[in-house]
Structure formats: structure tokens, C-alpha cells
Chains A and B, each alone.
Chain A
Amino acid sequence: MTWKGFHLIASETKLTFLTYRKICLALSIAMVVLSIGLFSSVGLNFGIDFRGGTLIEVQTKDGQDANLPTLRNTLSNLGLGDVQIQLFGRPDDVLIRLEQQPGGEKAQQNALAKVQQALGDDFTYRRTEVVGPTVSEELKEQGTIAVLAAIFAVLVYIWLRFEWQFSLGAVAALVHDVILTIGIFSLLQLEFNLSIIAALLTIVGYSLNDTVVVYDRVRENLRKYKKMDLQDLLDLSINDTLSRTILTSLTTLLALLSLYLFGGEIIRGFTFAMIWGVIIGTYSSIFVAAPILLMLGVKRDWSGLGTAGKAKEPV
């Protein structure tokens, strides 16, 4: 009985990834700079979680398509500043966004009440979110801390498990991923809310996951081939793990694509960030993490381990 699998990726690839390291690093640096530039010039399209304000999702009661111009007309006359109105996933579903009103917490609730009064009885309320100035400030702070804390925690973990060069390479790769994700959100002006922070942290985890697999193999090969040129060794390690890297990225992307297409409008932003993160994370573990290792150089003599009492070696 033989029920064999199909080899999607050729068994023994011999691609010389690191030959292209200069182009790739230049490309990565350019994208990082571009992302930072976009972030500081255009900026992120913060959702109410971080900017404060009100979000109302309504659906017409009779199932008719919503009349956006009329709605716009009604709501813009309430003196609530900039009111954004857009369809949300389907023609009878409308998303209304109010900017944060001056006048503290109470003013936000007043604005909501006004909109509800103006909308009258023709709509059912699917979702109402009001974030006051106090909470939005806190969420902004917590979100930043969360991303930094996660990066720091994994930096420490990698440093404990590997040499510092690995730690630096891994963190450079995931900072690259986080910055590029922020960059694409700035570029496309997609709403940046709490769930995107969750996506960023998951990207941190995923990107690292990928990098760690490559690094593990690098460490193994360093012990196996003591005389091999570092560049060749890194290429070999990437090739060894290439099929795994691609297969896992594919299964993860399959699940994410399904979420993106069928998971509903609310988590679409989150899934988009994750899909982007998986692609970028896969790229960075090959084209950022490994080249940095080459630039920093690594300790080749692993023979003294175990006796020297260094607990950095598993098994």
C-alpha cells in the first residue's frame, strides 16, 4: 500500500538566495523608509479606538437599499463636524462614523443620541461603538506598549536560545514586517483599529516562527559543516527549510483567505493585515534575517558548548 504525497516543492533546491542579498536589503530598506515616510506624512487612518468618536452600523428595516445621499444630508445638518457615511458589505447596511466631539465624554453620547433621533425608526442598529477621549488615549498607549513589549519579549527569548546575532537578525526581520504593515495601512488608508494591533502581534509571532525555523537549521548546519563558507551555509539552510516555509505559508494563507472572503466585513481589515504579514514575514525570514546574520557574522566554534555551561543549546 503506497499512498504517496505529491512533492509540491522540488526536493533539493540549490537556490543562491544570498547572492541577491544586496538588492533585497536595499529593497527592504527602501520599503521601510517609504513606510515611515508614508506614516509620518499621510499617517494612519485611525479608527475610533484610537481617535475617539462614534461608529454606528445600521441596516434598513425594510431591506431596501440604503439611500446614502439622503442620509448624508440628514446627518450633516446636525452640527457634528465631519460625518462619514459608507455602505458596509451590503447595499442595505450603512456605516456611520462621527469624529470625536469637543466637550468630553458626555458630548459623545449626546452626538449618538442626536444621530439616533435623526435616523428615526427606519433602521435597526447592528452595532454602536462610542469611544470617549479618555479611553482612546489609553488604547493608543496600550497598543504601542503591546507591540513594543512583544518585540522585546521575543528578542529576549531568541537571545536566550541563540547567540545575540540571531536575536538581532530576528528582531530586525520582525520590526521590518511591523513597519511594512503600518506602511501599507498608511498607503491604502485602511482603518487602523484595535484588531490591527492584534494582527501586528500575531505577525510578530508568525514572522518569528518562520525565522526561528531557518535559524534552527543554520545552527544545526554550523555544527555539521564546520568549514563551509558562511554564505553557502546560510543558502543551504534556507534551501533545506524552503519547502516547509512555503508549505506552511500556503496553509496559513488558505485559512486566512477563507476568513477574508467569508468571515464577514468586521474582521476583513484584520485578515488583510494578517495576509500581508504572512507574505512579508516569509520574505523577511529569508531575505532579511539571513543576510543580517551574514553581515554580523556568527561564532563558528560550537564544540565547547555544554562543557562551558552555556544553556543556550537545546537537547
Chain B
Amino acid sequence: MLYFSNWKTFSILAVIIVGIICAAPNVFTKKQAESLPTWLPHKQINLGLDLQGGSHLVLKMNTDELLQTQLKSIRDGVNQNLRELRIDGKIVKRSRPKIINGQIQVRISKPEHVAPALTKLRELIQPLEFSILAGTSNNNIEITQGENNTIIIQPTQAAIVDRLRGAMGSAVEVMRRRVDPNGTTEPIIQQQGKDRIIVQVPGVDDPAELKRILGKTARLTFQLVDPRGAQLQGGSSRRAPPGTEWVPSEQGPPELLKAKAIVSGEELEQANATNDQQTNEPVVSFRFNSTGSRNFGRVTQENVGRPFAIVLDNGFVSETDENGNVVLDKDGKPKLRRDRRIISAPVIQEPILGGVGQISGSFTPQQTQDLALLLNSGSLAASMEIIEERSVGPSLGEDSIVAGQIAGIIGLVAVIAFILFTYGLFGLFANVALIVNIALIVGLLSLTQATLTLPGIAGIVLTIGMAVDANVLIYERIREEIRAGKSTISAIETGYNRASSTILDANITTLIAAIVLYFLGSGPISGFAVTLAFGIMTSVFTSFVFTRFIISFWLRMQRTRTIEIPI
């Protein structure tokens, strides 16, 4: 047990030296560490948001809203196909397709028309491009025949899953552009589970600004105003003729618009918040891409003298009362309202051919900035809600680091003094091992770039207290063997030997707890699990292997054959 071959000696020293080198950059400032020679490691410990300050947000996609838009587009397809269906040159009579319980239901008036309608609707069935449920039902929709000449169309489970996956994939990108439009802040943005995104932004002073724009859907469309709207507005029937829709306006009564958009937000290339050159009011200027400019140019050319509407669709928002409280429905769920409205409806003075223009409404400068950012970042398929927020200001982070350091140093000094007092020279050996142990934990944290959190610091301090356990076990055993009359060397041998299985058992049980904690804990807590686990591994090495190495070295330095054990 006390003999160390050359290669063992070399490995032990190598581990310690590499560990210390990896830990070394942390004693420098960040700048100094970065300017270290390239052959040296210069990674510092990666501080968690609770220590460096920043915002941790978890957003959840509104899957109901996503399903609704999916159903609506299927309904539009159903409508379109049935309109095209002619039997004996006549349109097939049917009810308006309705969305009920996640299905689209349409009633065909004559029983003999059901079969041809089914055939026509089956044209809508398409295989999904990527299906994780391959083999079972990998089409986009399912069409079945219900009672009373009803046809039921619904998206398949695979299609719903597929749609969510696509929406989430692009949402991560949209979030990135929104959080970090200039690519400067190094945020962490990643999907969690099937419908969530974690956004972590270091060093944010005011998360309110971030939160205002993150989960918003903003879809811009340019639509022509239907001239029939003026007559209908005064009349008794407000029902929109086919191909048109009523849209509320910010500047007056709802207007009748052609449902088909001339240009949509996807065809915007760039939007900027600026001020109108004449009136100086805040506006958003924009530029279309080539297809957008072409379409817009053509339509404005054909419609000079008529108004068109710029419609902003913010998706579904929860309704609030005059005090800003969320309004609840009968089931205690927040009442949702579609926030889609006309921002302005200018008259086309002349064809707009250059593909540039501006949107003016009664905006504040803040609103134009948000709108420009939202338009530039692209649109979310459905709105996302913040379900968890943990923001820490920079001052608290600094205080926590200082407090952790002070607690660590005082704890360390106390433990070192105690061990020195209890075990004398061998205690000194254990203390050297303890300090090396801390260096190794720091080195391991820097090397793996695991995140150090405040509970993580607590884990290190706790390790300081628990790491000496192995030495206590060994030394107590040695004392026992000496009492039993063994010689010094044989007592040390037996001490290490006998204690080894106990040390292993005792540490593995704590390691099990740390592993469970790592997998089930979130953020700061898994930071604790990481340092605890690292601490267990390094402490077994330092207090079992390294102290043995020091003691064997010390034994060889003794001149006399009868060594009195200093314990």
C-alpha cells in the first residue's frame, strides 16, 4: 500500500499539476486570463446567472393557439375545395365549415353529394415530410364521414406534433434575433421539452424590456379595403361577403377588408424605427423584398385612389380590465382576445414601386422600436408565455460571490486548524491534501465549463467539511492499530487498507444523492449537485491517494528504523 511505482508517482503528480494549471486562470482578472499564452488553459469558471447577474426566463408556446391556426388553415382549404366542386355544373350545397372540438365539420345538404365531396376533400390529404410516427398515420389530415351527411376533417396527431416541432424550431431562431439583435450579449437560448424555450441573458439590468417583446407574435399584412364596406356599415346586415372580413381599427369603426393579403410581414426585408420627415412623429419605415415589392407595386398601380389597410396581428392576448387585472372566464381561465387591428388605412396616392414605405399610427417612440424589432425578428407561429422568471441584479451576484468566498475561507481555516490540532503532522498532510482538493475542484469546474452557482459555492464549502472524512477514517484506524500494538508502518498500511472499503461505500452513497439531484434539479440546484459530485471524486483522490503518497514519502525520509508515529 505504501509503495509507489515511478509511473504511479508520475500520474499522481501529473493529475495535481494539471488540476492546478486548469484552476490557475481564476486568480487573474478576466482580461489577464485571456492574455495568457495560448498553450496554457485560460478558461475561467463559468459563473451562473445568480452570481454574475442576468435573467433566466422559461417561455411556453401557446399550443392551443397553434392548433387553432392549424385548424383555420385546414378550414380554408376545405372551403376552397368545396367551392371548386361542381356537380352537374352547380355548386354543391353545404353548411359553413365549423371548427368544433379540434375538428372541422361540414354538412352536405344532399346525401348523394357526400361521396363526391369526400373525394374532392381527399385531395387535401398530403403525406407529412417528416413524421416521427412513420408507418401509422403520417398524413396531414384524416377525413371521416359522420352522421347526417356530415364530413369530419381533423389534423392527425402526427401533423399536430410536426407542426409544433416546426414552430418551436423557428421560435428558437426568432428568440435569438429578438434577444440579441446585434449579436453581442451571448445569450443561451434553447428548447426544453416539446413546447418550451429557455432564454438566459447575462447582465440584463431591466428584464422588463426583454419580456415585453419575447413572447409576442406580430404579423403584419397589407390588405385592400373593400368599397362595399361603407354601405354595409350603415345597413342592418354586417355579414362579410365571401372573401372579405371585418377588422377592427385603431382609428374608428371596423373596416371591411379583402381577406387576401397583398403583402405579408414575411416579405419584409428590413424595418426601422424612425421619425416622419415632415410631421416628426414616430414611424416604422420598411423595405419589402423583391416578391413583396413586385406584388405591392402591381396592386397599388391597379388601385390608385383607393385605401389599403396595414393590419397588425398580435395573436391572442389575455383580456385585462381597467386596473390591469387579467379577466377570467367561467372556468377560471384567462379570457383570450384576438388582438388584430388596422393600424392605418392610407389612400394610395400613386403606385408604390420602390418597395419602401412607412407605417404611421399614434405610436410612441418605444412602440415603434418594439414593432421594428418584432418585424425584423420574424413572427412566432403562436404566442409564448413566460412561465418562470429568475432575474438577479449584478449587485446581488457580486455580494453572493463575496459572501461565498468569505464563508469558504473561514470554513477552510477552521477545518484546517481543527485537523492540525487533532492529528498534528499527519493533520498537516491532510490539510495539504484538502487545499489541493479545492484546487482540483476549481480546475475541474474551469475545464468542464460547468456552471458555478451560489448553491454550487455552498457545495464546495460543504466539501471542505466532508472531504477530511476519509482522512479521519484512516487516521482513527491507524490509531486503533497502534493501540493494538502494531508497528508504525504496518499500522499505516492496515489503516489505509481497512478504511478503503468504508471510504468507497460512504462516498458512493453521497454520489448517488448528487446524481439524482443533478438530473432532477433545475438551474442553481444542479449547480450544487455538480460541485458536490466533483468534490466527492476529487476528495477520494486527494485524501486517500495523495495523503498516502505524502506519508510514504515522509516515511522514506526518516533516518531511524523505529519511527514514532506522530498521531
Interface residues in chain A, defined as those with a beta carbon under 8 Å from any beta carbon in chain B: 1-8, 11-12, 57, 59, 79, 101-107, 109-110, 112-114, 116, 124-132, 134-135, 139, 142-143, 145-146, 149-150, 153-154, 157-158, 161, 194-195, 197-198, 201-202, 204-206, 208-209, 212-213, 216-217, 220, 240-241, 243-244, 247-248, 250-259, 261-264, 266-267, 270-271, 274, 314-315
Contacts and interface: CB of A to CB of B under 8 A. Distances in A.
A131 B406 CA distance: 31
B208 A110 contact: no
Contacts of A253: 465
Tell which of B395, B424, B472 has the most Cβ of chain A within 10 Å: B472
A114 B513 contact: no
Contacts of A205: 509-514
Contact of B501 (A114, A198, A216): A216
Given A6-B421, A212-B506, A264-B404, A198 B528 contact: yes
Nearest to A217: B502
Interface stretch (B77-85, B156-164, B453-461): B453-461
Given A5-B423, A105-B385, A264-B400, A135 B455 contact: no
Contact of B415 (A8, A255, A271): A255
A124 B33 CA distance: 31
A213 B391 contact: no
Interface string B314-338: 0000101001111110001110000
B461 A11 contact: no
A135 B422 contact: no
Interface string B425-441: 11110000000000000
Interface string B493-504: 000001011101
Given A124-B395, A209-B506, A212-B502, A258 B411 contact: yes
A106 to B, nearest CB: 5
A194 B525 CA distance: 7
A146 B516 contact: yes
B8 to A, nearest CB: 20
A12 B419 CA distance: 20
Given A79-B325, A135-B58, A254-B414, A247 B461 contact: no
Nearest to A147: B516
Given A216-B502, A251-B418, 5 more contacts: A5-B423, A6-B424, A204-B513, A206-B510, A216-B505
Given A2-B564, A255-B411, A194 B406 contact: no
A267 B404 CA distance: 10
8 contacts: A1-B566, A5-B422, A105-B385, A202-B532, A255-B412, A255-B464, A255-B466, A315-B500
A151 B524 CA distance: 22
B324 A114 contact: yes
Contacts, number: 283
Nearest to A56: B391
B520 interface: yes
A147 to B, nearest CB: 9
Nearest to B401: A264
B132 interface: no
B390 interface: yes
Given A195-B525, A213-B506, A216-B505, A3 B454 contact: no
Contacts of A206: 466, 510
A4 B566 contact: yes
A262 B403 contact: yes
A10 to B, nearest CB: 12
A106 B423 CA distance: 60
B389 interface: yes
In this complex, which of A103, A142, A220 has the most chain B Cβ atoms within 10 angstroms of its Cβ? A103
B240 interface: no
Contacts of A274: 462
B466 A201 contact: no
B392 A126 contact: yes
B476 A244 contact: yes
Contact of A132 (B388, B425, B461): B388
Contacts of B566: 1-5
Given A5-B567, A202-B532, A250-B418, A263 B461 contact: yes
Contact of B426 (A5, A107, A261, A270): A5
A294 B507 CA distance: 25
A258 B510 contact: no
Contacts of A101: 326
Given A103-B318, A124-B395, A127-B392, A146 B461 contact: no
A255 B434 CA distance: 13
A4 B424 contact: yes
A252 B419 CA distance: 12
B393 interface: yes
B332 A102 contact: yes
Contacts of B325: 79, 103, 107, 110
A270 B564 CA distance: 44
A146 B328 CA distance: 35
Contact of A248 (B211, B389, B425, B468): B468
B480 interface: yes
B96 to A, nearest CB: 32
A263 B506 contact: no
A217 B509 CA distance: 17
Contacts of A150: 512-513, 516-517
Nearest to B516: A150
B382 interface: no
Contacts of A197: 521, 525
Nearest to B479: A11
Greatest chain A CB density within 10 A among B411, B510, B513, B520 is at B513
